[in-house]
Structure 1
């Protein structure tokens, strides 16, 4: 049982580092649109954890399309928490 928990912990750490590597950082060639905002909203927790440990990770893409990026970002953050349905229980 201990070995299984250890392996699960290692897998979770690898997944966390993999997700934070996709966090927005600086200016890219193309503007970040709706789907980039959606993805950045989903991984905001991992971006915040990386930021706390001093990594140069952006929370929000600076070079974005405006309203569509913002809309995707907000939907992504809401989707992470279950859209508020989990807080009702």
Structure 2
């Protein structure tokens, strides 16, 4: 019974997320609307913008209106590859071996 719930809950959330869509008035095409590059920048500065948005009503973490998919892709790239989602590799170097007698 527990296994069925653990499968049903993510499936239900995925189905609910599939219903989400962006408001048509939020997507604009023009030279002044934020695109891919501003999406990358906004994704990169997301942690700072989020903290500032808690205290300053004029600061937002996402630009609306934007040009749609390219801005979203840039935002994703900024967060995952350049920003808080980026993982630095951790290399462990062994300099000596200590052997103990049993």
TM-score range, shorter chain: 0.5 to 0.7
> Structure 1 CA distance, aligned partners of 2:54 and 2:41?
20
TM-score w.r.t. the length of structure 1 is 0.57
Moved over 3 A (4+): none
SS of structure 1 residue aligned to 2:59: coil
Partner of 2:42: 40
How far off its partner does 1:55 sit?
Answer: 3.8
Report the aligned-residue RMSD: 2.0
Of structures 1 and 2, the one with the larger relative CO (CA 8 A, separation 6+) is: 1
**Cα distance in 1 for residues equivalent to 2:77 and 2:46:** 12
1:58 equivalent in alignment to 2:70 = no
- SS of the counterpart of 1:59? coil
Instruction: Name the residue aligned to 2:84.
Output: 81
Which one has a larger percent helix, Structure 1 or Structure 2? 1
Structure 1 portions without partners, runs of 5+: 1-28
- TM, length-normalised to structure 2: 0.51
Secondary structure of 2:60's counterpart equals: coil
Equivalent residues, number: 59
Q: Contact between 2:36 and 2:75, CA under 8 Å: does it hold in 1?
A: yes
1:30-79: CA deviation from partner (whole Å, max 9, x where unpaired): 11000000000011111111112234111101011111000000000011
Q: For structure 2, which runs of at least 5 residues remain unmatched after alignment?
A: 1-30, 91-102
